[in-house]
C-alpha cells in the first residue's frame, strides 16, 4: 500500500497492592516518570523534549525515539505513538516495539513485581477508558463531509466483528450523566472495548465526546496535499493478525471512498449500532441502513470486500493478503461459531479462554476473577500476559517472529520520513550538548534553520545528512 499509517496507544497499568486511592495515583505517576526517564536517560533510546510542545506537554514530558516514534505521558497514561509506517508488517513491528520498549525498561529497573503495563482500553473499577487511535494519510481531496463519509462510518461500525479486543461486562457511560429507568438485557461479554464509549459520529475533540471519526484538521504534513484521518473507536489489539487486518481493511475502504468506488451504504444511528453489534454474542449483528433495511454487519462487510476485490486485486502484496484473509474471516464468522476464529481475532480468543475458565470453576459472569483474567490477557509482559501464552503455544497466529518484533523499538520503518527523523536522533545522541527541537514534520538544531519534512512518504536521509553537515561545527561532525 502506497500510504502511511500510524497507531497511538495509551497503556493502562496495574500496581501491586493498589487500592484505587489518591496515594496510588501519585505512586502510578511516579512509576510512569521513572520508566520514561530510564528509557530516555539511561537506555538512551530517544531524545527527551527540550521545548514546550503544548500547554500540557512541558519540557521533559516525553520525546521522540530512535525508531522515529514517540513516547510521552498524557492524561495520566503512558502513551506510545508508532513512527510512520509504509507496510502492514512495519506497523505490526513498530506496535510490538512499543510493548517491548516499556517492558524492557520495567525489567531492567527491577519493577516487574510492582507495575504491569496493560494494553487494553478500560478500567473495570472506575469504568474509565483509554484510547487506541489510528492515523491514516489520505489526500486533501478525500470527501471529508458527512455525506461523503457515510460509507466509511458504516464500515467502521461493522469492522469490530474482526478488530474487537473483547471484554467482560458493559459500561453504560451515560448513566453518570442522567438516570434512566430503562430495563437493559445483561451483557456478560462483548466484542469491543470502546463501543460503549463512542457517543458521536463526528466530533473535533478527543476527550469526553468521543466520536467515530475525529474531525480535527491536523495533517502533520503538507496541508495542501494531505489530511490525517484520526479514528478513535478502535480497540487495542494484542493479536498481530488483528492489528494488520484493522489497518489493512480500513485503508482499502478509505481508498474506495476517495476513488468513488465504495458501496452506497450508510448506517442509521451508527452510535447505537456500534453498541448493539458489540453486545450481540449471538453473532446475528443486525442494524438498519439509511434506507430502513435490516442488514447484518456481515452483509455490510461483504459489500465492501466485493468492491475492494473488484477494484484493487493485484495492486500490491499487502492488499492481496488483506483481501484474501478478509474473505476467509467473513466466511468463518458467517458460521456463528467463535471457536473458528480464535487463532486470529482477539475477542474470540479471549471469549474462548474466559468461557473455558468460567465453566471449569463454575463462576458467574460477574465474578471479579473474570475481570482480572480480562486484564491479564492484555498484560504486555511475555511472562505474565495470557495472550502471550496463546501465541507461544501456537494457538494464535503470529505474523512476525520475536526476533523481528524486538527491533521495532529502535529501528525505523523504511520508505517514510521516520528514517530521516531516526537518523537525526542518532546524530544528536552523539552530541549531547546540542540544542534541538524534534517534531513530526521537521527538525531544528542549535536554533538554526528548520529542516521541514512535510512529505511522509519520503525518507529524507540525504536531506538530514546535508542539514547536519551545514549546521554542526567541524569538531562535532568529525
Question: Considering the domain boundaries, does residue 43 fall inside one?
Answer: no
Please tell me the total count of domains within the chain.
Answer: 1
* Residue range 328-358, pLDDT digits in tens: 999 999 999 999 999 999 999 999 999 999 9
Question: Considering the domain boundaries, does residue 476 fall inside one?
Answer: no
Q: What average pLDDT does range 388-396 have in this prediction? A: 97
Question: Considering the domain boundaries, does residue 228 fall inside one?
Answer: no
User: Do 139 and 4 touch, CB atoms closer than 8 A?
Assistant: no
Per-residue pLDDT band for 173 (boundaries 50, 70, 90) equals: low
User: Average model confidence (pLDDT) for the chain?
Assistant: 93
- Answer yes or no: is pLDDT of 132 > 80: yes
User: Is the pTM here over 0.75, yes or no?
Assistant: yes
At residue 196, the pLDDT reads 93
Question: Considering the domain boundaries, does residue 96 fall inside one?
Answer: no
Q: What average pLDDT does range 224-233 have in this prediction? A: 95
Q: How many Cβ atoms from other residues are within 10 Å of residue 160's Cβ?
A: 26
Q: Which of 24, 37, 49, 74 is catalytic?
A: 74
Question: Considering the domain boundaries, does residue 168 fall inside one?
Answer: yes
Question: Considering the domain boundaries, does residue 455 fall inside one?
Answer: no
At residue 203, the pLDDT reads 57
Query: By residue range, what is the domain housing residue 164?
Result: 141-212+238-374
Question: Considering the domain boundaries, does residue 117 fall inside one?
Answer: no
User: Do 294 and 270 touch, CB atoms closer than 8 A?
Assistant: no
Residue 74 is among the residues annotated as catalytic for this protein:
yes
Question: Considering the domain boundaries, does residue 250 fall inside one?
Answer: yes
Amino acid at each position: 500500500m502506497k500510504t502511511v499509517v500510524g497507531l497511538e496507544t495509551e497503556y493502562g497499568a496495574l500496581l501491586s497492592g493498589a487500592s484505587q486511592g489518591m496515594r496510588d495515583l501519585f505512586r502510578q505517576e511516579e512509576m510512569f516518570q521513572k520508566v520514561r526517564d530510564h528509557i530516555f536517560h539511561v537506555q538512551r533510546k530517544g531524545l527527551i523534549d527540550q521545548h514546550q510542545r503544548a500547554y500540557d506537554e512541558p519540557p521533559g514530558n516525553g520525546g521522540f525515539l530512535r525508531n522515529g516514534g514517540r513516547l510521552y505521558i498524557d492524561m495520566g497514561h503512558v502513551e506510545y505513538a508508532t513512527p510512520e509506517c509504509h507496510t502492514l508488517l512495519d506497523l505490526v513491528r513498530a506496535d510490538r516495539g512499543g510493548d517491548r520498549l516499556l517492558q524492557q525498561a520495567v525489567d531492567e529497573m527491577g519493577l516487574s513485581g510492582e507495575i504491569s503495563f496493560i494494553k487494553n482500553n478500560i478500567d473495570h473499577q472506575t469504568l474509565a477508558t483509554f484510547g487506541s487511535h489510528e492515523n491514516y494519510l489520505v489526500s486533501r481531496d478525500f470527501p471529508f463531509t458527512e455525506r461523503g463519509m457515510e460509507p466509511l462510518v458504516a464500515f467502521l461500525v461493522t469492522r469490530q466483528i474482526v478488530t474487537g479486543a473483547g471484554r467482560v461486562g458493559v459500561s453504560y457511560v451515560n448513566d453518570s450523566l442522567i438516570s434512566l429507568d430503562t430495563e437493559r438485557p445483561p451483557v456478560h461479554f462483548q466484542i469491543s472495548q470502546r463501543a460503549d464509549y463512542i457517543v458521536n459520529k463526528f466530533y473535533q475533540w478527543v476527550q469526553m465526546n468521543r466520536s467515530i471519526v475525529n474531525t480535527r484538521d491536523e495533517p502533520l504534513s503538507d496541508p495542501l496535499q494531505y489530511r490525517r484521518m484520526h479514528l478513535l473507536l478502535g480497540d487495542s489489539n494484542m493479536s498481530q493478525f488483528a492489528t494488520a487486518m484493522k489497518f489493512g481493511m480500513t485503508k482499502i475502504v478509505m481508498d474506495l471512498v476517495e476513488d468513488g468506488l465504495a458501496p452506497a451504504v450508510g448506517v442509521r444511528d451508527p452510535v447505537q449500532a456500534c453498541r448493539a453489534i458489540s453486545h450481540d454474542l449471538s453473532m446475528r449483528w443486525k442494524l438498519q441502513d439509511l434506507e430502513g433495511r435490516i442488514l447484518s454487519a456481515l452483509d455490510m462487510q461483504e459489500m465492501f470486500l466485493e468492491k475492494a476485490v473488484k477494484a484493487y486485486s493485484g495492486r500490491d502484496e499487502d492488499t492481496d493478503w488483506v483481501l484474501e484473509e478478509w474473505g476467509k474471516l467473513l466466511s468463518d464468522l458467517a458460521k456463528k461459531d467463535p471457536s473458528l476464529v480464535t487463532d486470529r481475532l482477539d475477542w474470540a480468543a479471549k471469549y474462548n479462554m474466559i468461557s473455558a475458565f468460567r465453566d471449569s470453576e463454575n463462576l458467574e459472569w460477574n465474578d471479579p476473577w473474570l475481570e482480572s483474567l480480562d486484564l491479564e490477557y492484555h498484560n504486555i509482559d511475555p511472562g505474565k500476559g495470557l495472550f502471550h501464552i496463546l501465541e507461544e503455544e501456537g494457538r494464535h497466529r503470529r505474523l512476525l517472529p520475536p526476533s523481528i518484533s524486538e527491533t521495532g523499538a529502535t529501528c525505523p520503518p523504511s520508505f517514510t520520513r521516520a528514517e530521516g527523523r531516526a537518523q537525526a536522533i542518532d546524530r544528536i545522541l552523539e552530541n549531547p550538548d546540542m540544542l534541538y527541537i524534534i517534531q513530526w514534520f521537521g527538525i531544528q538544531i542549535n536554533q538554526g534553520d528548520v529542516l521541514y519534512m512535510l512529505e511522509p512518504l519520503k525518507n529524507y536521509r540525504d536531506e538530514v545528512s546535508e542539514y547536519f553537515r551545514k549546521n554542526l561545527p567541524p569538531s562535532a561532525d568529525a
